[in-house]
């Protein structure tokens, strides 16, 4: 038999170790609580041991830690499970609590209840004896031994203490870099290509209009509106005449002032008047006039556009000394 088991057997055989239950239905269950020391310094830790002796077959329930933790002046640091020391010839159990106290004076540990059921299933309770723990204040040395308060030790500075400064500088540099990159990208971007000449643009739009086959599908008014719009836009781009905002009569007068021959003026005026009749008077021109109007505009654009392009390509004669003499 281990020495600790023998010690527990002798401990429970000593007189005065039996504590009767609150309702003494079974007097064979003995409990004993003891402290490792009777006196501690404030804040020290001490074990509270609860030893239980019972007949075999008795079911003993462990003590809840909150019963000790709720005691005035005591505080449980660590609690252990109820463990079995021996089962024969009698049941020996032990439960330990590591406790402390932060109040000077006396801490009373009242009787702790031990709940159990005997071999027949009858429930009962046994109680430990009360204990008294003396808690002393901390021992302070003589006044001469008390050292003065030391000044605060300042930690030496290093670059990592200024990480936020480097972070701000990094963000500023990144911002300048992005702005400079965008500025250079905008500076080196090639200029947009020049718009095509007015006659090229007009011929392209005429081809697109012809491909839509509006008058062939009964959309005569829409066809003439688009045709005259192309003509007016060409006159504005080629001759500087604001034809998009002028009436037919105003356009005819402007073409005369621009030096356009009479035959071309009459053809364009006839086409514009026909378009006005279709648009405003809901007139229905003969079917053969539809393609003729397209060809009239196309021929006019080709002739005037080619003439203007040829004029821009002719070199300007250089001045000589004879011209100034």
Distance CA 98, CA 8 (A): 20
- Give me the pLDDT at residue 17, please: 45
> In the predicted model, what is the mean pLDDT of residues 248-266?
83
Distance CA 325, CA 307 (A): 34
Domain parsing of the chain, residue ranges: 3-136, 198-312
What are 205-216's pLDDT values in tens digits?
Answer: 999 988 988 888
CB-side neighbour CA atoms (13 Å) of 149: 2
Q: Looking at per-residue confidence, does 159 or 280 come out higher?
A: 280
157 has a pLDDT exceeding 90: no
- Give me the pLDDT at residue 293, please: 85
For residues 54 and 112, the answer to whether their CB atoms sit within 8 Å is: no
- Give me the pLDDT at residue 211, please: 92
Is this structure's pTM higher than 0.85?
no
38 has a pLDDT exceeding 80: yes
CATH class of 3-136: mainly beta
- Lowest-pLDDT choice from 6-10, 43-47, 289-293: 6-10
88 φ/ψ angles, rounded to the nearest 5 degrees = -135, 145
- Give me the pLDDT at residue 26, please: 42
- Give me the pLDDT at residue 317, please: 52
Distance CA 223, CA 273 (A): 14
Query: Closest Cα to residue 102, out of 74, 71, 68?
Result: 74
pLDDT class of 174 with cuts at 50, 70, 90: very high
- Give me the pLDDT at residue 181, please: 86
Structure tokens at 203: 């011929």
Apex 46 CA angle, 43 and 52, nearest 5: 150
Kindly report the average pLDDT of the chain as a whole number. 80
3-state secondary structure of 39: strand
């Amino acid at each position: 038999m281990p020495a600790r088991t023998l010690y527990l057997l002798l401990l429970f055989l000593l007189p005065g170790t039996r504590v009767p239950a609150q309702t003494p239905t079974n007097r064979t269950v003995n409990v004993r609580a003891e402290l490792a020391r009777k006196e501690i310094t404030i804040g020290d830790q001490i074990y509270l041991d609860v030893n239980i002796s019972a007949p075999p077959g008795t079911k003993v329930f462990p003590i809840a830690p909150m019963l000790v933790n709720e005691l005035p002046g005591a505080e449980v640091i660590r609690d252990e499970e109820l463990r079995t020391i021996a089962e024969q010839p009698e049941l020996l159990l032990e439960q330990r609590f590591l406790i402390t106290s932060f109040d000077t004076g006396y801490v009373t540990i009242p009787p702790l209840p031990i709940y159990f059921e005997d071999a027949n299933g009858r429930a009962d309770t046994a109680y430990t004896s009360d204990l008294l723990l003396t808690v002393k204040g901390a021992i302070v040395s003589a006044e001469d031994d008390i050292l003065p308060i030391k000044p605060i030790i300042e930690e030496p500075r290093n670059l990592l203490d200024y990480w936020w400064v480097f972070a701000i500088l990094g963000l500023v540099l990144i911002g300048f870099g992005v702005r400079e990159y965008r500025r250079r990208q905008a500076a080196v971007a090639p200029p947009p290509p020049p718009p095509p000449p007015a006659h090229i643009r007009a011929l392209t739009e005429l081809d697109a209009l012809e491909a839509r086959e509006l008058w062939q599908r009964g959309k005569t008014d829409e066809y003439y509106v688009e045709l005259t719009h192309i003509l007016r836009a060409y006159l504005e781009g080629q001759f500087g005449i604001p034809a998009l905002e002028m009436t037919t009569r105003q356009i005819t007068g402007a073409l005369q002032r621009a030096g356009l021959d009479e035959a071309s003026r009459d053809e364009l005026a006839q086409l514009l008047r026909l378009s006005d009749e279709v648009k405003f008077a809901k007139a229905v021109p003969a079917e053969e006039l539809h393609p003729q109007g397209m060809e009239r505009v196309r021929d006019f654009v080709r002739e005037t556009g080619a003439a203007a392009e040829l004029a821009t390509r002719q070199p300007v004669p250089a001045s000589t000394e004879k011209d100034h003499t």
